Amino acid sequence: MFTGIIQGRGRVIRKQPAGGGMVLCLEADFPLIDPVEGESIAVNGVCLTAREIKESRFLMDVSPETLERSGLGALQPGSLVNLERALKLSDRLGGHLVSGHVDARARVEDRRSAGDFTLFTFSLSRSLAKYVIKKGSIAINGVSLTVNSCEGERFTVSIIPHTLSVTTLGGLKPGDTVNVEVDIIGKYVEKLLMEKSANPDGGSRINASFLAEHGFLR
Q: Give pLDDT tens digits for 183-208.
A: 988 888 888 877 766 665 655 666 67
So what's the pLDDT on residue 125? Answer: 94
Residue 1 covered by a domain:
no
Q: What is the mean pLDDT of residues 70-77?
A: 97
Residue 192 covered by a domain:
no
Higher pLDDT, residue 80 or 204? 80
CA–CA separation, 214 and 41 (whole Å): 39
Q: Give pLDDT tens digits for 27-54.
A: 999 999 889 999 999 999 999 999 999 9
pLDDT value at 76 more than 90 = yes
Could you write out the DSSP letters of every residue in 95-123? S--B-S---EEEEEEEEEEETTEEEEEEE
Last residue of a domain, one of 51, 85, 119: 85
Domain check: are 75 and 125 in the same one?
no
pLDDT value at 177 more than 60 = yes
Residue 99 covered by a domain:
no
Domain check: are 136 and 176 in the same one?
yes
Q: Give pLDDT tens digits for 140-158.
A: 999 999 999 999 999 999 9
Domain with residue 141: its CATH number is 2.40.30.20
| Cβ atoms of 9 and 81 closer than 8 Å | yes
CA–CA separation, 200 and 210 (whole Å): 16
Question: What is the rounded average pLDDT for all residues in the chain?
Answer: 92
φ/ψ (deg, to 5) at 164: -65, -35
Domain check: are 113 and 175 in the same one?
yes
Q: Which domain holds residue 162?
A: 104-182
CA–CA separation, 92 and 73 (whole Å): 32
Residue 149 covered by a domain:
yes
Domain check: are 108 and 178 in the same one?
yes
Residue 201 covered by a domain:
no
Q: Give pLDDT tens digits for 91-143.
A: 888 899 999 999 999 999 999 999 999 999 999 999 999 999 999 999 999 99
So what's the pLDDT on residue 200? Answer: 58
So what's the pLDDT on residue 88? Answer: 87
**Total domain count, the chain:** 2
The pTM assigned to this predicted structure is 0.87
Residue 212 covered by a domain:
no
Give all strands (DSSP E) within 78-195, no chain letters: 80-85, 104-114, 117-123, 137-140, 143-151, 154-159, 177-182
Domain check: are 79 and 108 in the same one?
no
So what's the pLDDT on residue 86? Answer: 95
So what's the pLDDT on residue 209? Answer: 76
Domain check: are 128 and 177 in the same one?
yes
